[in-house]
């Protein structure tokens, strides 16, 4: 009997290890302790980052060639939303609950972004990138890793209207 209890417990634990916390929109929300970012006090952060804008890039899906828009939106308290296949014609598309959660820091030598993704293996991957803002562009650099290669993407700034700035992150 003891063997069956231990087996059941082991199966239950391994089953729950693949579980991921999600919000009502199905987006991943990892444990904040595991996803913390160094808190820093950067007095000039809002001179560098415009929290009333979104930074966009036009891309094409690899398999279909269909165009789509991705974007980064910065918030206070070092929070960041990464939107995939963003619908700019619908204000609710800008709700960060529809985006991958992330954090940013501007205190180190290089500005850094961390975003959470769900991987096909059933776990959460924290993507680490570097960024810089030049005029009205956001330059995001991905370092080479086992999950992908080195890349640089340029996002263009789009000022948001007052009615588009009504959302706040759920993390």
**How many residues belong to the chain?**
171
pLDDT tens per residue, range 34-81: 555 556 666 666 677 889 999 999 998 888 888 999 999 999 888 899
Q: How far apart are CA 70 and CA 22, in angstroms?
A: 20
Q: Whole-model pTM? A: 0.78
Rounded to 5°, the CA angle 113-92-76 comes to 35
Domain residue extents for the chain:
23-164
Q: Top-level CATH class of 23-164?
A: mainly beta
Residue 102 has pLDDT above 70, yes or no: yes
Higher pLDDT, 138 or 29: 138
* Cα distance from N-terminal residue to C-terminal residue, the chain: 44
């Amino acid at each position: 009997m003891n063997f069956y209890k231990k087996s059941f417990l082991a199966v239950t634990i391994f089953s729950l290890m693949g579980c991921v916390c999600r919000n009502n929109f199905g987006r991943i929300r990892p444990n904040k302790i595991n996803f913390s970012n160094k808190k820093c006090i950067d007095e000039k952060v809002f001179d560098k980052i415009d929290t009333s804008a979104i930074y966009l890039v036009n891309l094409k899906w690899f398999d279909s060639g269909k165009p789509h828009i991705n974007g980064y939106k910065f918030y206070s308290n070092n929070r960041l939303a990464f939107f995939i296949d963003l619908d700019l014609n619908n204000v609710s598309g800008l709700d960060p609950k529809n985006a991958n959660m992330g954090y940013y820091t501007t205190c180190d030598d290089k500005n850094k972004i961390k975003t959470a993704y769900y991987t096909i293996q059933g776990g959460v991957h924290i993507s680490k990138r570097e960024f810089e803002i030049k005029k009205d562009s956001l330059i995001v650099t991905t370092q080479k890793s086992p999950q992908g290669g080195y890349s640089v993407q340029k996002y263009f700034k789009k000022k948001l209207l007052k009615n588009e700035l009504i959302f706040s992150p759920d993390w």
